[in-house]
Amino acid sequence: MKNRRTAVRLCGAVLGLGGLWLAMTQQPPVQDLTVERIADDLHVIVGSGGNVAVLTTDDGAILVDDKFERNVPAILEKVKSLTSKPIRYVLNTHHHGDHSGGNQLLMKDAEIVLHKNARANMVKGSQPGQPRLSFADEFAVNFGGKEVRARHFGAGHTNGDAAVYFPAHKVVHTGDLFVRGTPFIDYGNGGNSEAWLKTIDGILTLDFDTVIPGHGAISKRADLIKWRADFQTVRTRVKEMVQAGKSKDDVARTLKLDDLPGWSLSGLLVKSLPGLYDEVSKR
Ligand SMILES: [Zn+2]
């Protein structure tokens, strides 16, 4: 990074051309996307934004999520390295912009599908790239001799999350219903921790070995089970603190998380904690 900046500065100094200097320094930053292989026809594009699954078929590619809009050129480049066929379908796991931000550019050529609540959240937030198609419980794409199923098991991260299942590979893409680290409970868009745990139980009824989380490393079924247990532990701890009369600030300051790998108070939980406190205070 430092070397590159020095090189650019040198170049600008030597050439002494203001316009060129401007053009060079205004180039978009290098996008650090990499491709990880699960099977010959199933890969994951990791880096900036949510994890993107790419299933290739003889007739075209099916994607799960499409990161931010600015990532689309790099996504297209990575897909091109996997197949000469176009992207025909994109399944959004939910409406957040780091998972659906590429919709606007991709929907010109591809059909994009998501849960109806996720679509409503996009409409509510005046988000660009609102898909033409949405579903209530389950949606399947049978294309190029392969099948992908998106299924809504209930609320969790938001009220419109879908887990996307690749039955032939025994792989599930959970979107942000599973992340390697602290979860964000988006209460403003129907997120709920109690429902979330039930939703994970629903996902676990699927027959899979490999999990593509919304963010973080490709994982195993056991990792999702462990994360669910940790989530339950955190929820129980907050509930017990509420019952012991602790204030929101007390909980934010003293909630014990150091025994749970990947969980941190400073992370998104700070954003989730006020809502979680209110949720477990009810009834
Ligand atoms: Zn999200």
User: How many angstroms separate the CA atoms of 130 and 160, rounded?
Assistant: 14
**What is the Å distance from ligand 1's center to 78 Cα?**
23
**What is the Å distance from ligand 1's center to 238 Cα?**
22
Task: Check pLDDT > 60 for residue 15.
Answer: no
- Band (82; pLDDT cuts 50, 70, 90): very high
**What is the Å distance from ligand 1's center to 218 Cα?**
17
- Band (283; pLDDT cuts 50, 70, 90): low
**What is the Å distance from ligand 1's center to 57 Cα?**
28
Provide the pLDDT for residue 170.
98
Q: What is the identity of the amino acid at 132?
A: R
- Band (9; pLDDT cuts 50, 70, 90): very low
Cβ atoms of residues 201 and 165 within 8 Å: no
User: How many angstroms separate the CA atoms of 174 and 206, rounded?
Assistant: 12
**What is the Å distance from ligand 1's center to 232 Cα?**
19
Neighbours of ion ligand 1 (CB under 5 A): 96, 176
Provide the pLDDT for residue 268.
61
- Band (19; pLDDT cuts 50, 70, 90): very low
Sort 81 into a burial class: Cβ within 10 Å, 0-12 / 13-18 / 19+. exposed
User: How many angstroms separate the CA atoms of 160 and 191, rounded?
Assistant: 9
**What is the Å distance from ligand 1's center to 139 Cα?**
20
Provide the pLDDT for residue 3.
40
Model pLDDT for residues 192-213, shown as the tens digit of each residue: 999 999 999 999 999 999 999 9
User: How many angstroms separate the CA atoms of 234 and 260, rounded?
Assistant: 9
**Which of 61, 56, 50 shows the shortest CA–CA distance to 37?**
56
Provide the pLDDT for residue 271.
81
Model pLDDT for residues 41-66, shown as the tens digit of each residue: 999 999 999 999 999 999 999 999 99
User: How many angstroms separate the CA atoms of 90 and 37, rounded?
Assistant: 19
Buried b vs exposed e over 130-166: b needs ≥16 C-beta within 10 Å?
bbeebbeeebebebbebebbbbbbbbbbbbbbbbbbb
Q: How many residues does the chain have?
A: 283
Cβ atoms of residues 44 and 56 within 8 Å: no
CB atoms within 10 A of CB 215: 17
**What is the Å distance from ligand 1's center to 96 Cα?**
5
Taking the CA atoms of residue 187, residue 106, residue 53 and residue 201 in that order, the dihedral angle to the nearest 10 degrees is 30
Cβ atoms of residues 274 and 248 within 8 Å: yes
**What is the Å distance from ligand 1's center to 157 Cα?**
7
The rounded mean pLDDT for the chain is 90
**What is the Å distance from ligand 1's center to 191 Cα?**
10
**What is the Å distance from ligand 1's center to 111 Cα?**
21
Task: Check pLDDT > 50 for residue 1.
Answer: no
**Which of 209, 191, 153, 164 shows the shortest CA–CA distance to 268?**
191
Total-model pTM: 0.88
User: How many angstroms separate the CA atoms of 123 and 133, rounded?
Assistant: 13
**What is the Å distance from ligand 1's center to 98 Cα?**
7
Task: Check pLDDT > 90 for residue 102.
Answer: yes
Model pLDDT for residues 234-244, shown as the tens digit of each residue: 999 999 999 99
**What is the Å distance from ligand 1's center to 183 Cα?**
9
